[in-house]
Amino acid sequence: MSNHAQTAVLAGGCFWCTEAAFEQLAGVSDVTSGYAGGAKGTANYEAVCRGNTGHAEVIRITYDPAKISYGQLLDVFFDAHDPTTLNQQGADRGTQYRSAIFVADGEQRRIAEQKIAEHNASGHFSRPIVTSIEPLTAFYPAEDYHQDYARANPHQPYIQAAAIPKACKVREKHAALIRQ
């Protein structure tokens, strides 16, 4: 890992699923489940599950830009969930499951806007992308039991039904980016 690690904060539904999809990528050194979009006082699972905190379940990806670019991470992001459904991924419903890119600066915003435009123009999805681009004001790590949840609980029914298929889809569509 270079001394110039960068981070990306993405919301693509349940953080257990998105974490599993991204931790297999070469150049990614850490994926942390957490919350973004709301206040510090409501950055906990119980409050976020109520759906009225402004938070989304997110992952913070720490990566080496010499090995994987922010744009490549966004390409994986768009394939790791359905960015055309508003406030929903599968059976998970509510604003806490929204599709969002939390940008830390103007360059991340520019790349995110470009990727959304490219995907919409390509016809890759049958409906327009509804992913929001939101300023990253803070990232709050989720409770310890949420970290590496899919890896620690591979036989849990939700992980079997939702997280593993997403990780496999990413492995198939982005084979060149998978850690050897």
- Residue 2: C-alpha distances to residues 7, 24, 123 (Å): 13, 18, 36
119, containing H or E segment: helix 106-122
User: Across the strands, what pairs with 22?
Assistant: none
Q: Please pick, among 14, 17, 49, 168, the residue that the annotation labels catalytic.
A: 14
Per the annotation, the verdict on 168 as an active-site residue is: no
Largest Cα–Cα separation, the chain: 41
> Which contacts of 160-163 are long-range, i.e. CB under 8 A and separated by 24 or more positions?
162/14, 162/16, 162/17, 162/90, 163/14, 163/16, 163/17, 163/20, 163/21
CB 70 within 8 A of CB 10: no
CA 25, CA 128: separation in Å to the nearest integer?
27
How buried is residue 121: exposed, middle or buried, by Cβ count under 10 Å (0-12/13-18/19+)? exposed
**Per-residue pLDDT of the chain in tens (180 residues, 90 and over written 9):** 446 999 999 999 999 999 999 999 999 999 999 999 999 999 999 999 999 999 999 999 999 999 999 999 999 999 999 999 999 999 999 999 999 999 999 999 999 999 999 999 999 899 999 999 999 999 999 999 999 999 999 999 999 999 999 999 999 999 999 998
Q: What is the CATH number of domain 6-177?
A: 3.30.1060.10
Domain spans of the chain? 6-177
Q: What is the pTM of this model?
A: 0.96
